[in-house]
Chains A and B, each alone.
Chain A
């Protein structure tokens, strides 16, 4: 039991090392807009291996959910409002995202390069 507990504390300490360092000030900011249930731009290029702060402006009156399985992100953004989503660091590639509430039209992708 004791050694089990020690392993557990070890795991927690390991996890603690991964808590984010205070690098927030240098995080590059990118912006997206939702208009008429479409994303502008629909393709967003971001640098590889870099954490970015994405600000999504919803210019529609209706709420939208910014969602991506590839990016593991989901966030509700109310109408005429904005939402912040942190993305990355990511390896190069294409990461589709969509507006869950209007997924027929609200489609886009993040291109990491």
Chain B
């Protein structure tokens, strides 16, 4: 029981922790106050509790695939918010302006959504043990260990980013965000395939022998770049499209900022 709870909490915490640590590493560069984090935790917690409480009703929507659709929509929204963040920061920095409130809102909303999704799963897992109270202590201990490891990886990642020289920190952080965002799109595609809204296909490849998804490295790569051992062609296509759209949007933002500057 202990090990299961370590793994579950670690998996759920890791994804949100990575996004948060990139944004924290940006906060200094963009002269953000870090107050957003507390608010995002509170609102994300409320969101997670509401989603968990309503999941039965949500699941039964749309012929029984409401859960998949809701998850896909949340992941898609996180992707869009990350695009907005990158575009706004690139454009305004290129023009030498203060980044303003738009990136701030995008940071806040995407973290709230990430916590809502991951947090609801944690709450539902823990809720189950109120039916087996004797297991609750080991589960809580295991959960705390798992969450601790997840946060620690986030902290290590944060410091790794702050070591990057200031001039390079923004592009490096954006590249990381782009990969995390593409992972969101891959997951959303997966959910829509599971819901039979997008067509199911045979996997494009099977790398589970090389790098199993359930291994530690597999789980880390899953959180960082959306690694799947057996992705379908549609998932791979959407993954790379989402990277392309993100990079192209940032490129256009940079180009138009430079053009306006030279006028």
Contacts and interface: CB of A to CB of B under 8 A. Distances in A.
A61 B131 contact: yes
Secondary structure call for the B interface: helix
Contacts of A64: 128
A15 B234 contact: yes
A76 B120 CA distance: 10
Contacts of A104: 1, 4
Contacts of B121: 65, 76
B43 interface: no
A83 B131 contact: no
Interface-central residue, A8, A12, A78, A83, by most chain B CB under 10 Å: A78
Q: How large is the interface on B (under 10, 10 to 19, 20 to 34, 35 or more residues)?
A: 35 or more
Contacts of A79: 128, 131
A25 interface: no
The A contact surface, by secondary structure, is: mixed
B222 to A, nearest CB: 10
B208 A83 contact: no
Interface in B176-210: 190, 193-203, 208
Contacts of A19: 198-199
Contacts of B65: 84
Contacts of B190: 72
A41 interface: no
Contacts of B32: none
Contact of B124 (A76, A83, A86): A76
A78 B194 contact: no
Interface in A16-35: 18-21, 24, 27
Nearest to B1: A104
Contact of B59 (A60, A62, A83): A83
Contacts of A61: 131
B4 A20 contact: no
Nearest to B129: A62
B21 interface: no
Contacts of A24: 196
B4 A62 contact: no
A12 B213 CA distance: 28
A90 interface: yes
A61 B130 CA distance: 10
A104 B67 CA distance: 25
B208 A89 contact: no
A81 interface: yes
Contacts of A18: 198-199, 201, 233-234
B236 to A, nearest CB: 11
A100 B122 CA distance: 11
Contact of A75 (B67, B201, B208): B67
Given A65-B125, A75-B194, A84-B64, 15 more contacts: A11-B237, A15-B238, A18-B201, A20-B196, A51-B196, A62-B129, A64-B128, A76-B124, A78-B55, A86-B195, A89-B200, A100-B4, A101-B125, A104-B1, A104-B4
13 contacts: A18-B201, A20-B200, A51-B200, A65-B124, A65-B125, A72-B190, A76-B55, A78-B55, A81-B59, A88-B200, A89-B202, A104-B1, A104-B4
